[in-house]
């Protein structure tokens, strides 16, 4: 089929959704589909066979567009909508694949041109708005209504996790819904590079977090829990990879207030293709997320790393993690600290969890599994479209 993929993000960037979009279009193109990818103006230029990348125009003031709701993102979404109309008028598409909030653009295009669309549901948009801006009750209710309409008018939904799959099925039980989890990003990366222990003079166990430093990630919980380790007479180091300069400065200040600055190391961003190299330098990997219902992309690489995982016992994690493959703890700082201490002191427990996690990844969260599920879903959609055209 000829497919227009709407990706309301900078592309390409080495972070969650752009990585998922790249994987998606690579697999669809490899299966023989012709892909036009429409994305924001920012991002690294990449070449993907059978994928044509188009960008919205760059506008003054619209730079450094980050994840999550913002005025900049709304402006970019508006430009994406206008650009998509031009593409639809110039090309003959069989399907639109709409990522995140671009589903509302796809809904409009369906009303205007009769084009079917797939909703690539990476998160619950109304819940994101509610978590970040709890006072916007009326706006959240309106967004929830639009989400329902978008799901019900789609040809199918691809949900990134179980909670989103259940939401889609509850709202539109007659629609095909595919649960398509992210996959491990560990692969053919370098086997050598920066030695954290030598570079920063670290001795003793390393607890590592990788990801952005947005408040929903639970970095406050992580730092407060780590500060309690001293009371357990256990020595350890905390390495945090990722985040922008502003967030790093804010949390570095907090480590001073907690009197743990000498044991917490902020490395800043590192290349995704070196992810495996950094993960293997840790003794324990942590995901202290406190909000959201989608599973963090990093969890799949964590599980594949050969290192034990400690995460909060919330649906964002438990729809993938269970006690047999990870250590789970509440969002109480004392309990999270105790789970950390348990893993630090129990080498056998660390080994058991890491081994079981790696086996789970091979079975369920590998690239071949992703490819098999995605292509089967699209084959069914293609057959349905072909059948509908014959009937007309």
Which pLDDT tens digit goes with each residue over 194-220? Answer: 999 999 999 999 999 999 999 999 999
Half-sphere exposure of 290 (CA within 13 A, CB side): 16
| Two structure tokens written together for 20 | 């998922």
The answer to the question of residue 189 being in a domain is no
The answer to the question of residue 188 being in a domain is no
90 SS3 class: helix
Q: What is the mean pLDDT of the chain?
A: 93
153 and 241 within one domain: no
The answer to the question of residue 266 being in a domain is yes
The answer to the question of residue 222 being in a domain is yes
- For 296-314, what is each residue's pLDDT tens digit? 999 999 999 999 999 999 9
Cite the beta strand spans of the chain per DSSP E: 2-7, 34-39, 51-55, 95-99, 117-121, 156-159, 177-179, 206-210, 237-241, 264-268, 284-287, 309-312, 327-329
Residues β-bridged to residue 4: 36, 96
Residue 219 · residue 209 · CB < 8 Å: yes
Distance CA 51, CA 30 (A): 10
Q: What is the pLDDT of residue 139?
A: 77
Q: What is the pLDDT of residue 188?
A: 63
- For 172-196, what is each residue's pLDDT tens digit? 999 999 999 999 989 766 777 899 9
pTM of the full predicted structure?
0.84
66 SS3 class: coil
Q: What is the pLDDT of residue 21?
A: 97
Report the CATH number at residue 44. Answer: 3.40.50.2000
97 SS3 class: strand
Distance CA 24, CA 368 (A): 12
Cβ contacts of residue 183 below 8 Å, gap of 6+?
Answer: 23, 300, 365, 366, 367, 369, 370
254 and 108 within one domain: no
The answer to the question of residue 191 being in a domain is no
Q: What is the pLDDT of residue 187?
A: 75
Give every residue of the chain whose pLDDT is below 70, as ranges. Answer: 132-135, 188-189, 231-232, 387, 389-392
Q: Which residue has the tokens 């003794």?
A: 283
Burial code of 75-91, b = ≥16 C-beta within 10 A, e = fewer?
A: ebbebbbebbeebbeee
Half-sphere exposure of 101 (CA within 13 A, CB side): 22
124 and 212 within one domain: no
299 and 279 within one domain: yes
200 and 170 within one domain: no
Q: What is the pLDDT of residue 243?
A: 93
The answer to the question of residue 110 being in a domain is yes
Distance CA 214, CA 244 (A): 10
279 and 253 within one domain: yes
73 and 167 within one domain: yes
- For 47-78, what is each residue's pLDDT tens digit? 999 999 999 999 888 888 877 778 899 999 99
| Two structure tokens written together for 288 | 């202290």
161 and 61 within one domain: yes
Q: What is the pLDDT of residue 134?
A: 67
218 and 155 within one domain: no
Number of domains within the chain: 2
Q: What is the pLDDT of residue 390?
A: 64
| Rg (alpha carbons) of the chain, rounded to whole number | 22
Residue 391 · residue 363 · CB < 8 Å: no
Q: Which residue range is the domain that position 250 belongs to?
A: 196-364
Helices (H) and strands (E) in the chain, counts: 15, 13
Show contacts of 194-202: CB within 8 Å, 24+ apart: 194/270, 194/274, 194/277, 194/278, 195/281, 196/239, 196/265, 196/267, 196/278, 196/281, 197/281, 200/265, 202/237, 202/239, 202/265
239 and 150 within one domain: no
301 and 334 within one domain: yes
CB atoms within 10 A of CB 12: 20
Residue 77 · residue 103 · CB < 8 Å: no
The answer to the question of residue 352 being in a domain is yes
Q: What is the pLDDT of residue 360?
A: 94
169 and 97 within one domain: yes
């Amino acid at each position: 089929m000829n497919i227009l993929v709407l990706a309301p993000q900078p592309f390409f960037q080495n972070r969650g959704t752009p990585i998922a979009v790249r994987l998606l279009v690579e697999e669809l193109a490899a299966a023989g589909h012709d892909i036009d990818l429409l994305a924001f103006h920012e991002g690294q230029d990449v070449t993907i066979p059978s994928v044509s990348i188009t960008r919205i125009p760059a506008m003054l003031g619209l730079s450094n567009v980050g994840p999550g709701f913002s005025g900049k993102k709304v402006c970019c979404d508006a430009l994406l909508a206008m650009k998509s109309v031009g593409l639809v008028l110039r090309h003959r598409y069989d399907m639109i694949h709409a990522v995140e909030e671009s589903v509302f653009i796809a809904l409009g295009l369906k009303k205007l041109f009769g084009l079917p669309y797939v909703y690539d549901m990476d998160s619950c948009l109304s819940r994101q708005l509610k978590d970040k801006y709890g006072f916007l009750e009326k706006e959240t209710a309106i967004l929830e209504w639009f989400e329902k309409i978008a799901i019900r008018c789609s040809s199918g939904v691809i949900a990134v996790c179980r909670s989103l799959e259940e939401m889609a099925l509850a709202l539109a039980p007659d629609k095909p819904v595919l649960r398509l989890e992210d996959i491990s990003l560990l692969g053919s990366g370098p086997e050598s590079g920066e030695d954290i222990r030598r570079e920063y003079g670290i001795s003793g166990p390393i607890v590592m977090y990788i990801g952005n430093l947005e408040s929903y990630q639970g970095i406050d919980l992580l730092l407060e829990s780590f500060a309690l380790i001293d009371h357990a007479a256990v020595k350890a180091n905390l390495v945090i990879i990722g985040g922008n300069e502003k967030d790093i400065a804010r949390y570095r200040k907090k480590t001073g207030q907690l009197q743990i600055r000498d044991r917490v190391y902020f490395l800043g961003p590192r290349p995704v293709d070196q992810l495996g190299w950094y993960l293997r330098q840790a003794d324990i990997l942590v995901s202290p997320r406190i909000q959201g219902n989608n599973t963090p992309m990093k969890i799949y690489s964590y599980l594949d790393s050969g290192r034990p995982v400690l995460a909060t016992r919330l649906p964002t994690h438990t729809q993938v993690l269970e006690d047999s493959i990870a250590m789970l703890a509440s969002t109480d700082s004392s309990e999270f600290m105790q789970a950390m201490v348990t893993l630090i002191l129990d080498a056998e427990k660390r080994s058991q969890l890491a081994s079981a996690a790696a086996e789970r990844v091979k079975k369920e969260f590998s690239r071949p599994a992703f490819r098999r599920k995605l292509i089967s879903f699209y084959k069914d959609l293609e057959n349905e479209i072909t059948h509908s055209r014959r009937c007309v």
